Amino acid sequence: MPAAAFLRSRALALSSILPGLSLCLAVTGVALGLERVEEHVFGRLWLEALVLAIVLGTAVRTAWSPGRRFVHGIAFGAKTVLEIAVVLLGASLSLRTLLAAGPGLLVGIAVVVALAIAASYGIGRALGLSPRLAILVACGNSICGNSAIAAAAPVIDADGEDVASSIAFTAVLGILVVLGLPLLVPLLGLSPMQYGVLAGLTVYAVPQVLAATAPVAALSVQVGTLVKLVRVLMLGPVVLTLSLGIGRLRGRTGVSVPHPTAGERPASGRMPLHRLVPWFILAFLALAGLRSAGLVPEAALHPMATTANALTIVSMAALGLGVDVRCVVKAGPRVTLAVVASLTALTAVSLGLIRLLGIA
């Protein structure tokens, strides 16, 4: 591609994201301003800028639907900015933090995910959800919210209505979990380590783990992020299992569904590796490994952590701008009850693991 054409394409791409990204930055600025006012008035922070950005973004999106010119920039903030923030966060973490908890935690994460999927699926079917919608709710609750739903949907031939219902709820409920989960620290007497494990096992998305743990302790952030990433890696085995069992699902439901074209997914129904293990997770783990090996200069740690925090707040604003709480009404009471009951079961199983392993 000639240099002039390349520059034109980059300029067009930049112009397409500027309106939406500017809106995200505006919400971020208001959140940071409110954080300072809060600290000045009350002498302490009740809500961090991370949480305020989510709340403000959600309020804006619910009261006003941004036009098409904002869409690309908001999506860029919620995805690309977020991924860069997660990668940079790897420089502030040490893999020794997770390894210190022992191999029992790693095995326990896999067990919790398996039990949560089984329980969520059972709850969904008991409440009358279709097998495919029950699977989507189970995967979204048990692994990583929208990402798990998006990965599982083409494998099980889920229709658009089921995908929309499950994604709408994980988006809204994810925000509520971020806001409410820290309340369990004083109620249950959780230590920063215990709370980090709980957040990593229950919160839907990686950035939401940051928002849920930042008000508690730095150790909670580190442990929660690492546990969450291990949980995300369970998406591969789960989707592979669904892929292998899709024929059995068709036979059991007796429903004939149209198959996506070859351009939409592989003929085998299996997801490509890059969809199962996103690049930013690999980059995060690589950077955390370099930090653990002492290969990241100490002078670079603070600027990288500060940048990661700022980008995370911007991505929180973008995520909030993508959540319309009115979507909950459209999802229906059965989906509502299934998702809430499944999350409650996941929280109970997670707390049981923490007690079982004796995590202090």
What tens digit of pLDDT does each residue of 161-203 get?
677 677 767 767 877 888 889 999 999 999 999 999 999 999 9
Residue 264 belongs to a domain: no
The answer as to whether 316 is a domain residue is yes
Whole-number pLDDT of residue 97? 60
Number of structural domains the chain divides into: 1
In the predicted structure, residue 146 carries a pLDDT above the cut 50: yes
Tokens describing residue 173 = 């409920």
Does residue 86 lie within any of the structural domains? yes
Residue-level pLDDT at 212: 87
pLDDT band (50, 70, 90) for residue 69: very high
Give 331's pLDDT tier (boundaries 50, 70, 90).
low
pLDDT tens digits, 233-285 = 787 788 778 877 765 545 554 444 434 433 444 444 454 555 555 677 678 77
The confidence score (pLDDT) of residue 118 equals: 93
Contact yes or no for 133/166 (Cβ under 8 A)? yes
Q: Is the pLDDT of residue 158 over 80?
A: no
pLDDT of residue 258: 38
Residue 8 banded pLDDT, cuts 50, 70, 90: low
What is the pLDDT confidence band of residue 74, given thresholds at 50, 70 and 90?
very high
Percent of the chain scoring above 70 in pLDDT: 79
Whether 213 is in a domain gets the answer yes
Whether residue 80 is predicted with pLDDT greater than 70 in this model: the reply is yes
Q: Is the dihedral of CA 99, 298, 53, 193 positive or negative?
A: positive
Q: How far apart are CA 196 and CA 190, in angstroms?
A: 9
Q: Looking at residue 129, what is its pLDDT?
A: 86
Q: What is the DSSP string of 257-273?
A: -PPPPTTTS-TT-PPPH
Judged on CB neighbours under 10 Å (0-12, 13-18, 19+), 132 is buried
pLDDT tens readout for residues 278-307: 677 678 778 888 887 888 888 998 899 889
At 15, is the secondary structure helix, strand, or coil? Answer: helix
Could you tell me if residue 138 is inside a domain?
A: yes
At 330 the pLDDT is: 64
Binned at pLDDT 50, 70 and 90, residue 7 comes out as low
The more confidently predicted of residues 93 and 264 is 93
Please tell me the predicted confidence (pLDDT) of residue 200. 93
Using the predicted structure, report yes or no on whether residue 79 has a pLDDT greater than 60: yes
Q: Is the pLDDT of residue 20 over 90?
A: yes
Provide the pLDDT for residue 352.
92
Which residue in this structure is represented by tokens 């394409």? 9
The pLDDT of 306-323, averaged and rounded, is: 85
CB neighbour list of residue 327: distance below 8 Å, 6 or more residues apart: 168, 169, 171, 172
Q: According to the model, what pLDDT value does residue 265 have?
A: 44
Average pLDDT, the chain: 80
Per-residue pLDDT at 191: 93
In this structure, is residue 229 part of a structural domain?
yes
160, 165, 170, 172 alpha-carbon torsion, rounded to 10°? 130
pLDDT of residue 1: 55
Q: State residue 249's pLDDT score.
A: 47
- Give percent above pLDDT 90 in the chain: 22
Mean pLDDT along residues 55-73: 90
Structural domain includes residue 74: yes
Say if 266 falls within a structural domain: no
Host domain of residue 91: 17-249+272-357
Q: Within the chain, where are the H helices?
A: 3-42, 49-63, 68-76, 82-89, 95-99, 103-126, 131-139, 146-152, 160-180, 184-188, 192-202, 206-213, 218-232, 235-253, 273-276, 279-292, 298-321, 327-331, 333-357
pLDDT, residue 94, reads: 64
